[in-house]
Amino acid sequence: MLKKSLVALAAVLGGAAAMPALAAPALKCAPPVIQVGDVADKVVAQYTVQCEGAGALTVTPSVTFAGEVLRGTPPYEVTATYSIDVRDAHAKKVAQDAREDQVAQGVLRASTVSVAALPSQFAAQTEWDAKSGTISIEEKPGVWRAFNIQHVEDAGQSLSDAGVASAPVKNGRSVSKVVLGKDFSRFAGKGADQPILTAQLGLRDGKFEVLVGESRAASQKAVQDALLKLDKKPADVTRAWALASIAQFLGLENEVRYAEQAVAAHNPQLLDEFQHGLQRIKPYVLPR
């Protein structure tokens, strides 16, 4: 039994100690530091993976990933936390205490075929955008949390949580898929009939903001399609919601009014509830 457990442990570790450092375009992740647990326990190994800027002159934050690899069959479930630190090299070397605005923590989902693969996986879930000074971490598939770094006069670097997007920040821009579904109204469709738009995001004062003009342009086809579908079946309150909800988010008052008029004409008893649902959608504000 012990022999089988040791074989399983070796498979999980995957020769991590001999594995060279793996590099992302802007961050270099070192081989994992491993503390082996009791092979009879559910935890096979505890690990730490340190990622730094790729060069001495590269201004990037350091990111530390840590957690446990759980027993089972590959891919192994990984508990993973991350910590971002924007103190300069000297402050870290002398173990100077970090200010609250110099560090950030979070949790991400992961699985792995071996501990040795973790550096490359975490590098792939981390994106550094030098243009905007933003680091993005993929906390779960399709959900990226971004942290913006700004220089504070006489205080060094400062880190702020920019928010969540559907893609990492590149060249100071990102996108967010906005689903205006059942959380807002029972009139929303299901599955492919859910009203969905892609908001274009920029950064202002270290936070995501919706870029109105770009978002309207990117959603023009979605608005037109919703309008055509409503015209074909104006009594369908689900189609009215699809048009009105997208238009409400984009601040298109005429399209919102057009959908409300369709409801008033064909389903007047539902108009108050329909409008109450729309009030939950704030123009240009990303749902939380």
Per-residue pLDDT of the chain (288 residues; tens, 9 = 90+): 444 444 444 455 564 433 333 333 457 889 999 887 665 566 678 899 999 876 544 556 889 999 988 877 888 888 899 999 887 665 665 566 667 778 899 999 888 888 889 999 999 999 999 889 999 999 999 999 999 998 776 666 788 999 999 999 999 999 999 999 999 999 999 887 899 999 999 999 999 999 999 999 999 999 999 999 999 999 999 999 999 999 999 999 999 999 999 999 999 999 999 999 999 999 999 987
213, 277, 200, 281: which is closest to 247 by C-alpha?
Answer: 281
| Helix, strand, coil percentages, rounded to 5, for the chain | 35, 35, 30
- Rounded CA Rg of the chain: 24
To 5 degrees, how large is the angle CA 68–CA 26–CA 70?
10
pTM, rounded to two decimals: 0.83
